[in-house]
Each structure stands twice: as C-alpha cells, then as structure tokens.
Amino acid sequence: MDKIKGLVSALFTPLKEDGSINYDVLPQMIDDAIAADITGFYVLGSTGEGISLSTDERKALAEASVNLVNGRVPVMIQIGHNSLAESKILAKHAQKIGASAISANAPSYFKVSNVDVLIDCMAEISRDVHLPFYYYHIPPLTGAYINMVEFLQKAPEKIPTLAGIKFSEMDPGKFLQCKNFAGGKYDILWGCDEQLIAALAVGAEGAVGSTYGFMPKLYQEVMRNFTSGKMTEARSLMQLAYEVVEALNRHAPIHPCMKAVMRMLGYEVGNHRLPQPALSPEQERLLKADLERLGFFEWSIKPLVRA
C-alpha cells in the first residue's frame, strides 16, 4: 500500500437506541465521505468506539465497512485491545475480509512501560498477518508515553510489516522526527485535527481525524491554501476549525458531542456507549447554538458534498 495522502476519516460507529449497531446508516456515511474526497477510513478507533464493542461486533462492523467501501479508498481497521489474544483474532479477521491495513493502540489497563514491551505487544498481535501495520500512538488515552523514534529504530526487526504510525500526540516536533526517520521511510499520519496546520508546517501529507467526518472540505481548503502559499487564508480557515473543536469540548466530552453533530446533520448515529455519557437536551441546544454562530451548518459536509 502506498503512503496515505489527504484526509482519512475516523469512522463513527452508528448505534440504535438499544445500543446495537445501526448498519443501515453506514452506506450513507461512507458514500458521503467519499464524495467529499475523503481518502480513506480508520475504523474502530477512539471515534469508532472500538474499545467499547465486543469482538464479534468489531468483526461485523469491520466487514461491513470494507464491503461498503468496496475498494474505492483504503480501509484501516483498528484492532487494539487489552487482550492481545483478542487483538490477534481481530488482526486475522481484518486480513480475511480484505482490509487495506491494520492499526493498534497499546494495551491501557496494565500500562506499557517501555519501548521493548510495546514492540513485543505489537509484534505478537501482527504476527502471521501480512497487512501493513500502523501503530496507533495516543498516549493521553493509553498512558504509553513511548519515544516513537526509538520505536521506529527497534520495531522493524520484530514487526516486518510496520508501515507507519497514526501519531495522535500534540507534538509537531516529535512528529517531524518520525517523519524524517530513515529518510522518510515510514508513513506518519497526523492524528490531532485542530492542530493540522502545525503538522503541515513540518511536512504532514496525510492525517486521520474525527472531525474530517463532518467538515472535510474546510480542512481540505486549509491544506490547499497552505500548499499554494496562501498562508493568511490557511490560518483563517484553521482558526474556524479550531473554534468548532473548541465548541465540541465546551459543554460535554468531545466524542458524544461529535455524535450529536452527526445527528444534527441527519446521520442517525445514536449516542455513545457508556462510560461515555449522552448529552442532555440543554447541552445539545448549547452546542447547536455555538455551531450556528460559527456558520457551521452552511459549510459542513452536507452542502459541501459534490453533486
């Protein structure tokens, strides 16, 4: 698989009122995102609530996503789990269904304490699977504050399928070190939406994010303006994206707020599973008011999808 360019959407897992997966919504979500020039999907990560789903649910959603995308863009399946045995099952299933790549975060209940343990964990779950492997580096959630340059130095010996890192630590300098490691051999994908312009400044070409699912064109315009040297325009658009993310963080945890935005746009994605709380009607009202002040519903994914 070639290095990923552009914006990869972290796919939301739509849920029904009873908490089961709502597969009926997936075709619309996937088709709309591809029509809006999303260049790939990251399935069952933090946004996709992979950690809150059973192994059987994760396998079913992964297969449905791969089938619906039908080869139009790459599909990366997140297989991380506190049980390495379950991760191995998910990895082999991803290969069986024709996923483009697999990715995994570190186990998080028993914290990974050093780079060698992390490599042993990732080697264990990717063994006998021939798909490209991306480590999902998200230390604020896993507690695995591991030096990623050292990981890239040591990991290939035990993880021959290592393709890159989904880099979800807000440190463009460390990202740059990883991107330039071994002459730029590895695909380092930026994973912090609201800091995209900082990543572009240090050479990011591909990024994975939650908010790309409902405002991809805004970020694409940031990238286009940045690439063409129109920095004033790029900064202005990036400020607008940042203010949307600020609004998402203002009234409740960000993940339930993002699902609320998807519902406002007509996607019946439901609420998050516990322990992520549902928004109260008042929280949802305040969030919608903030977004209206930013003109969000005039330029979000719905009106920006190409006819």
Q: Please count the helices (runs of H) and the strands (runs of E) in the chain.
A: 14, 8
Whether residue 172 contacts residue 195, with contact meaning beta carbons closer than 8 Å, is answered with: yes
Q: How far is 40 from 47, CA to CA, in rounded Å?
A: 15
The first and second tokens of residue 33, run together, are 């995102």
CB 262 within 8 A of CB 12: yes
Sorted by sequence, the CB contacts under 8 Å of residue 205 that are 6+ apart come out as 3, 5, 6
Q: Which of 42, 88, 134, 166 is catalytic?
A: 166
SS (H, E, C) 223-274: HHHHHCCCHHHHHHHHHHHHHHHHHHHHCCCHHHHHHHHHHHCCCCCCCCCC
CA 171 to chain centre: 17
The token duo for 184 is 């730029």
Active site residue 166: yes
CB distance 247 to 239 below 8 Å: no
**End-to-end CA distance of the chain, in Å?**
30
Give the active site residues: 136, 166
